[in-house]
Structure 1
Amino acid sequence: MTQLPISHRDRHCGASYSERIRCKDIEMWPLLTLVSPELRSKISLVYTFGQAATEIIFTTLNDNVYCMGTNTSGCLGVGDNVSSLEPRCIDAFSGMKIINIAAGSGPHVLILTDEGEVYSWGHNSYMQLGNGGTAPSLRPSLLTRNIPQKVIQMACGSHHSMVLTVDGEVFAWGYNNCGQIGSGSTSNQGSPRKVTACIGNKRIIHISCGQTASMAVTESGEVYSWGYNGNGQLGVGNNVNQTNPCRIAALQGVVITQVACGYAHALALTDDGQVFGWGANSYGQLGSGNKANTVTPLQVATNAGRVITIAASHYSHSSAALNQNGQVWMWGQLKQQSTPDPKLTLFTNLNSVFSNFSSPPISWKPLLVCSEAEPSVQQSVSSAFNDEATADLKISVDGKLINVHKALLKIRCDYFRRMFQSHWDESSQDVIEINGYSYPVVYSFLRWLYTDHVELPPEDAIGLLDLATSYCESGLKLQCQKQIKEGINEQNAAQLYAAAIKYQAEELQEFCFRFCLNHLTQIVQTESFQLLDKDIMYNFIKESAKKGAFRR
Structure 2
Amino acid sequence: MDRFRGRNSKKGGGAIYVTKDDEVFGFGRNEFGFLGTGDKQSRTEHTKIEQLCGQNIREFQFSDCTFFAISATDSVCAWGSNGFGQLGLGTKKDTWIPTKIEGILGTKRVVQVTCSNYHTLVLTSDKEVFSFGRNEFGQLGLGHKDDQTVPIKLDFAATGGVVTAIACLFLSSVALLDSGELFAWGKNEDGILGQSEQDMKEQNIPRKVPGLEGITITRIVCGLNHALALSNDGKVYSWGWNGYGQLGNGTDENSHEPTLIFGNFGRIRDVAAHNNNAISAAVTEADEVFAWGDFNGEENLIPKKTSFTSLDEVFAEIPNAAVTFRPLRTNFDDEPVEEKNSANEWPEWLQKSFGDVESADVVFVVEGKKIHAHKTILIMRCAVFRTMFLGNWKESNESEQIIEHRSYDVFFAFLKYFYTNQVDLQPDMALELFALAHFYQVTDLQKECLKIIKRGIAVENAASVYDKAIQLASEELREFAFKFCLKHLTAVVNTDGFKLLNSDVVRDLFLHAAQQGAFKN
- Please indicate the TM-score interval, normalised by the length of the shorter structure: 0.5 to 0.7
Residue 533 of structure 1 aligns with which residue?
none
1:435 to 387, 390, 395: 387
Where does 1:234-383 land on structure 2 (aligned, <5 Å)? 234-238=193-197, 240-357=201-318, 360-370=321-331, 376-377=337-338, 379=340, 383=344
CA distance in structure 2 between the aligned counterparts of 1:399 and 1:215, rounded to whole angstroms: 43
1:127 to 70, 74, 85: 85
Residue 471 of structure 1 aligns with which residue?
441
Letter in 1 for 2:7: Y
CA distance in structure 1 between the aligned counterparts of 2:116 and 2:377, rounded to whole angstroms: 59
Q: Relative to 1, partners in 2 of residues 1:246 and 1:379: Cα closer, same or farther, differing over 3 Å?
A: same
1:48–1:56 contact (8 Å) kept in structure 2: yes
Deviation, 1:445, is: 8.4
What is the aligned-residue RMSD (CA, Å)? 4.0
Partner-residue secondary structure (3-state), 1:73: coil
Long gaps (5+) in structure 1? 1-40, 387-396, 404-412, 417-432, 456-461, 483-503, 505-552
Residue 51 of structure 2 aligns with which residue?
92
1:183–1:197 contact (8 Å) kept in structure 2: no
Deviation, 1:170, is: 0.9
Q: Relative to 1, partners in 2 of residues 1:241 and 1:477: Cα closer, same or farther, differing over 3 Å?
A: farther
Partner-residue secondary structure (3-state), 2:317: helix
Deviation, 1:436, is: 2.4
2:119–2:134 contact (8 Å) kept in structure 1: yes
Q: Relative to 1, partners in 2 of residues 1:344 and 1:398: Cα closer, same or farther, differing over 3 Å?
A: closer
Letter in 1 for 2:206: P
Deviation, 1:357, is: 2.3
CA distance in structure 2 between the aligned counterparts of 1:314 and 1:157, rounded to whole angstroms: 8
CA distance in structure 1 between the aligned counterparts of 2:13 and 2:96, rounded to whole angstroms: 17
Higher relative contact order, chain-length normalized (CA < 8 Å, sep 6+): 1
CA distance in structure 2 between the aligned counterparts of 1:463 and 1:104, rounded to whole angstroms: 34
Bigger CA drift: 233-242 or 188-197? 233-242
Bigger CA drift: 182-191 or 279-288? 182-191
Residue 163 of structure 2 aligns with which residue?
204
Letter in 2 for 1:42: D
CA distance in structure 1 between the aligned counterparts of 2:377 and 2:241, rounded to whole angstroms: 58
1:75–1:122 contact (8 Å) kept in structure 2: yes
Q: Relative to 1, partners in 2 of residues 1:355 and 1:342: Cα closer, same or farther, differing over 3 Å?
A: same
CA distance in structure 1 between the aligned counterparts of 2:67 and 2:172, rounded to whole angstroms: 18
Residue 98 of structure 2 aligns with which residue?
140
CA distance in structure 2 between the aligned counterparts of 1:282 and 1:247, rounded to whole angstroms: 25
Q: Relative to 1, partners in 2 of residues 1:117 and 1:437: Cα closer, same or farther, differing over 3 Å?
A: farther
CA distance in structure 2 between the aligned counterparts of 1:321 and 1:450, rounded to whole angstroms: 20
1:70 to 13, 23, 29: 29
Paired residues in the alignment total 394
Residue 545 of structure 1 aligns with which residue?
none
Structure possessing the higher radius of gyration over alpha carbons: 1
Q: Is it true that 1:113 corresponds to 2:65 in the alignment?
A: no
Q: Deviations over 1:177-224 (max 9, x none)?
A: 221111122221101111115667631111111112110010001100
Partner-residue secondary structure (3-state), 1:377: coil
Long gaps (5+) in structure 2? 348-374, 391-395, 397-410, 426-431, 453-470, 472-521
Q: Deviations over 1:241-292 (max 9, x none)?
A: 1111110121111001111111111111111111000111110010111111
Where does 1:448-463 land on structure 2 (aligned, <5 Å)? 451=421, 453=423
Letter in 2 for 1:98: I
Residue 14 of structure 2 aligns with which residue?
55
1:164 to 94, 99, 123: 123
Letter in 2 for 1:131: L
1:126–1:188 contact (8 Å) kept in structure 2: yes
CA distance in structure 2 between the aligned counterparts of 1:66 and 1:182, rounded to whole angstroms: 35
CA distance in structure 2 between the aligned counterparts of 1:194 and 1:376, rounded to whole angstroms: 44
1:57–1:67 contact (8 Å) kept in structure 2: yes
Q: Relative to 1, partners in 2 of residues 1:48 and 1:261: Cα closer, same or farther, differing over 3 Å?
A: same
CA distance in structure 1 between the aligned counterparts of 2:261 and 2:163, rounded to whole angstroms: 24
2:4–2:330 contact (8 Å) kept in structure 1: yes
2:181–2:217 contact (8 Å) kept in structure 1: yes
Bigger CA drift: 190-199 or 125-134? 190-199
Bigger CA drift: 161-170 or 142-151? 142-151
CA distance in structure 2 between the aligned counterparts of 1:371 and 1:249, rounded to whole angstroms: 42
CA distance in structure 2 between the aligned counterparts of 1:190 and 1:256, rounded to whole angstroms: 32
CA distance in structure 2 between the aligned counterparts of 1:318 and 1:280, rounded to whole angstroms: 11
Task: State the TM-score, normalizing by the size of structure 2.
Answer: 0.67
Deviation, 1:316, is: 1.7
Q: Is it true that 1:215 corresponds to 2:184 in the alignment?
A: no
1:63–1:96 contact (8 Å) kept in structure 2: yes
Q: Deviations over 1:431-462 (max 9, x none)?
A: xx9522479x9xx889769955389xxxxxx9
Q: Is it true that 1:152 corresponds to 2:104 in the alignment?
A: no
2:246–2:301 contact (8 Å) kept in structure 1: yes
Q: Relative to 1, partners in 2 of residues 1:198 and 1:312: Cα closer, same or farther, differing over 3 Å?
A: farther
Deviation, 1:351, is: 2.1
Q: Is it true that 1:45 corresponds to 2:5 in the alignment?
A: yes
Q: Relative to 1, partners in 2 of residues 1:143 and 1:449: Cα closer, same or farther, differing over 3 Å?
A: farther
Letter in 1 for 2:388: G
Q: Deviations over 1:60-112 (max 9, x none)?
A: 2222111112212322111222111111111112222222211122x110111
Deviation, 1:353, is: 1.3
Deviation, 1:377, is: 2.5
CA distance in structure 2 between the aligned counterparts of 1:53 and 1:326, rounded to whole angstroms: 31
Q: Relative to 1, partners in 2 of residues 1:470 and 1:245: Cα closer, same or farther, differing over 3 Å?
A: same
CA distance in structure 2 between the aligned counterparts of 1:137 and 1:276, rounded to whole angstroms: 39
CA distance in structure 1 between the aligned counterparts of 2:124 and 2:298, rounded to whole angstroms: 38
CA distance in structure 2 between the aligned counterparts of 1:224 and 1:358, rounded to whole angstroms: 34
Letter in 2 for 1:353: V
Letter in 1 for 2:93: A
Q: Relative to 1, partners in 2 of residues 1:274 and 1:145: Cα closer, same or farther, differing over 3 Å?
A: same
Partner-residue secondary structure (3-state), 2:330: strand
CA distance in structure 2 between the aligned counterparts of 1:303 and 1:158, rounded to whole angstroms: 36
